[in-house]
Amino acid sequence: MRSFLIVAALCFATGASLAESEHDRKAFRAMYQQKFPQVGLDDFVLGVYAIDTKLRAQYDAINEFPPYEFDLDEGKDSAYRRFPDGSNLVECLGENRHRAVNNYPIYDEKKGEVISLPVAINRCLERAGQAPLSYRKLPLSKILAHLNYAARGTRRDVAEPASEQSRSAYNAGKVYFNTKRGQLNLSCADCHVRAAGKHLREQTLAPLLGAVNHYPVYGLNWGALGTLHQRFVGCLEQVNAESEDLQSKVFRELEYFLTVMANGLPMVGPGIHR
């Protein structure tokens, strides 16, 4: 009887946790939809281009011949390059483990950490005896660009945080998102939730619902592709906050939170930023 009660309590706890991320997502979406009633839910993944028609026209014009075309080719070559053992990155990432790009980031229960796509790529490389790629350099961004481009047409499908551990990672990401930091004392939510659609100098602040689905991005000011975590660093620098390392634990947890919010929305990467 006692064990039955414990099982029942565990089931209840799991049920409650599932409801938690789903509840958060519902609230997150409702808030943006109330703020921008003219934007369809799927369009939010475009970020600022969803809410600004003039920028959207520029974006569409650039996309007739996007500047990252050559990078896609190079990324594809690297993704399919055979390792000495005969496998390649795409096989390692997906088929062997029944996972696709739209399932990342995943929560690794054994290691107790969030595994983002770049980390998974480096794990694959290490397993095949190859040198891992730098998280801040172009070869990795190009592979990410190809993988995301190939995943266009699918929808983000990340497992909801169900276990105790994964819930705490999710919550850490949520807390990071809402914590004020830096000399300007701004949180991610201050700019991208409360002030979304307002202007910061000549830039429109982008809504963040599903924006992770358009990464990596080609930065027109960088003249190159950049990753999601490089964008996080950019945000932190802009509020004069101490930055974190690319693919650090906190950044991956933040990515996890944002990606769970983006669940079910279309994959449209790579995107273009100004």
Partner 1 sequence: MSNSIKVRIELRGNEATVRMLIRHPMEIGGRRKNGEYIAPHFITHVSCKHNGLTVAQAHWGPGISKNPYLSLVIGGANSGDKIEVRWVDNQGATDEYGTEI
Does residue 65 interact with partner 1 by CB under 8 A?
Answer: yes
Residue from 18, 24, 67, 99 in contact with partner 1 (CB under 8 A): 67
Does residue 70 interact with partner 1 by CB under 8 A?
Answer: yes
DSSP assignment, residue 154?
S
Residue from 69, 126, 164, 245 in contact with partner 1 (CB under 8 A): 69
Q: Which is nearer to partner 1, 67 or 94 (CB)?
A: 67
Active site residue 188: no
Residue from 1, 202, 223, 242 in contact with partner 1 (CB under 8 A): 223
Q: Which is nearer to partner 1, 86 or 223 (CB)?
A: 223
Binding window for partner 1 (CB under 8 A); candidates: 14-22, 46-54, 60-68, 209-217: 60-68
Distance CA 254, CA 261 (A): 11
Could you tell me if 214 and 75 are in contact, meaning their C-beta atoms sit under 8 angstroms apart? no
Of the candidates 126, 132, 134, 148, the residue with the CA atom closest to the CA atom of residue 75? 148
DSSP bridge pairs for 273: 219
Give the shortest CB-154-to-partner 1 separation in angstroms: 25
Q: How far is CA 168 from CA 24, 117, 159, 178, in A?
A: 14, 20, 14, 15
Name, in order, each residue with C-beta under 8 angstroms of 272's C-beta and a sequence gap of 6 or more: 59, 62, 63, 66, 67, 68, 217, 218, 220
Does residue 64 interact with partner 1 by CB under 8 A?
Answer: yes
Does residue 221 interact with partner 1 by CB under 8 A?
Answer: no
Catalytic residue annotation: 235
Interface with partner 1 by CB under 8 A: which residues?
64-65, 67, 69-70, 73, 223
